[in-house]
Amino acid sequence: MEEERIEEQELKLKERLKRLEALEKEVKDREKKLKDREKARKQVLLRLAPSLWNELAQWAEEDYRSINGQIEFLLAEAVRKRKNIHK
Protein backbone atom coordinates (compact mmCIF):
# COMPACT_ATOMS: atom_id res chain seq x y z
CA MET A 1 0.00 0.00 0.00
CA GLU A 2 2.76 2.41 0.97
CA GLU A 3 4.76 1.49 -2.14
CA GLU A 4 1.77 2.29 -4.38
CA ARG A 5 1.40 5.69 -2.77
CA ILE A 6 5.10 6.40 -3.25
CA GLU A 7 4.90 5.32 -6.90
CA GLU A 8 1.89 7.58 -7.42
CA GLN A 9 3.76 10.51 -5.93
CA GLU A 10 6.78 9.75 -8.12
CA LEU A 11 4.58 9.74 -11.22
CA LYS A 12 3.01 13.04 -10.24
CA LEU A 13 6.43 14.56 -9.63
CA LYS A 14 7.70 13.32 -12.99
CA GLU A 15 4.67 14.85 -14.73
CA ARG A 16 5.24 18.11 -12.89
CA LEU A 17 8.89 18.10 -13.91
CA LYS A 18 7.92 17.59 -17.56
CA ARG A 19 5.50 20.55 -17.38
CA LEU A 20 8.16 22.71 -15.74
CA GLU A 21 10.71 21.76 -18.39
CA ALA A 22 8.19 22.63 -21.12
CA LEU A 23 7.49 25.99 -19.47
CA GLU A 24 11.21 26.67 -19.12
CA LYS A 25 11.70 25.95 -22.83
CA GLU A 26 8.82 28.27 -23.71
CA VAL A 27 10.31 31.07 -21.60
CA LYS A 28 13.73 30.60 -23.20
CA ASP A 29 12.17 30.69 -26.67
CA ARG A 30 10.33 33.93 -25.84
CA GLU A 31 13.52 35.48 -24.44
CA LYS A 32 15.38 34.56 -27.63
CA LYS A 33 12.67 36.12 -29.78
CA LEU A 34 12.80 39.33 -27.71
CA LYS A 35 16.59 39.48 -27.99
CA ASP A 36 16.38 38.93 -31.75
CA ARG A 37 13.86 41.78 -32.03
CA GLU A 38 16.12 44.05 -30.00
CA LYS A 39 19.03 43.29 -32.31
CA ALA A 40 16.87 44.25 -35.28
CA ARG A 41 16.62 47.88 -34.10
CA LYS A 42 17.99 50.53 -36.40
CA GLN A 43 20.78 52.81 -35.27
CA VAL A 44 20.53 56.52 -35.98
CA LEU A 45 23.13 59.23 -35.60
CA LEU A 46 21.40 62.20 -34.05
CA ARG A 47 22.95 65.61 -33.51
CA LEU A 48 21.33 67.72 -30.81
CA ALA A 49 22.03 71.11 -29.33
CA PRO A 50 23.63 70.79 -25.89
CA SER A 51 20.70 72.60 -24.27
CA LEU A 52 18.22 70.13 -25.78
CA TRP A 53 20.44 67.22 -24.75
CA ASN A 54 20.50 68.51 -21.17
CA GLU A 55 16.72 68.90 -21.09
CA LEU A 56 16.26 65.36 -22.45
CA ALA A 57 18.78 63.98 -19.95
CA GLN A 58 16.95 65.61 -17.05
CA TRP A 59 13.58 64.42 -18.32
CA ALA A 60 14.91 60.89 -18.85
CA GLU A 61 16.25 60.82 -15.30
CA GLU A 62 12.87 61.91 -13.93
CA ASP A 63 11.16 59.12 -15.91
CA TYR A 64 13.82 56.55 -14.91
CA ARG A 65 14.87 56.00 -18.52
CA SER A 66 18.10 56.23 -20.41
CA ILE A 67 18.41 59.20 -22.75
CA ASN A 68 18.15 56.82 -25.68
CA GLY A 69 15.04 55.25 -24.15
CA GLN A 70 13.53 58.68 -23.56
CA ILE A 71 14.12 59.76 -27.16
CA GLU A 72 12.60 56.50 -28.44
CA PHE A 73 9.61 56.94 -26.10
CA LEU A 74 9.03 60.51 -27.29
CA LEU A 75 9.31 59.56 -30.96
CA ALA A 76 6.90 56.63 -30.52
CA GLU A 77 4.45 58.90 -28.69
CA ALA A 78 4.65 61.48 -31.50
CA VAL A 79 3.99 58.80 -34.11
CA ARG A 80 0.96 57.51 -32.16
CA LYS A 81 -0.45 61.02 -31.87
CA ARG A 82 0.11 61.66 -35.57
CA LYS A 83 -1.69 58.43 -36.49
CA ASN A 84 -4.67 59.42 -34.32
CA ILE A 85 -4.88 62.85 -35.98
CA HIS A 86 -4.85 61.39 -39.49
CA LYS A 87 -7.62 58.83 -38.90
Q: What is the pLDDT of residue 9?
A: 92
Arithmetic mean of pLDDT, 57-80: 94
- For 56-76, letters b (16+ CB in 10 Å) and e give beeebeeeebeeeebbeeeee
Right CATH for 43-87 from 1.20.144, 1.20.120, 1.10.1220, 2.40.50 = 1.10.1220
Selection from 62, 87, 60, 63 nearest residue 71 by Cα: 60
Q: Mind listing the pLDDT tens digit for each residue in 39-63?
A: 788 888 999 999 999 999 999 999 9
Count of CA atoms in the C-beta half-sphere (13 A) of 39: 6
pLDDT tens track for 4-39? 889 999 999 999 999 999 999 999 999 998 888 877
Assign 3-state DSSP to the chain and report helix, strand, coil percentages, each to 5. Answer: 80, 0, 20
What does pTM read for this prediction? 0.53
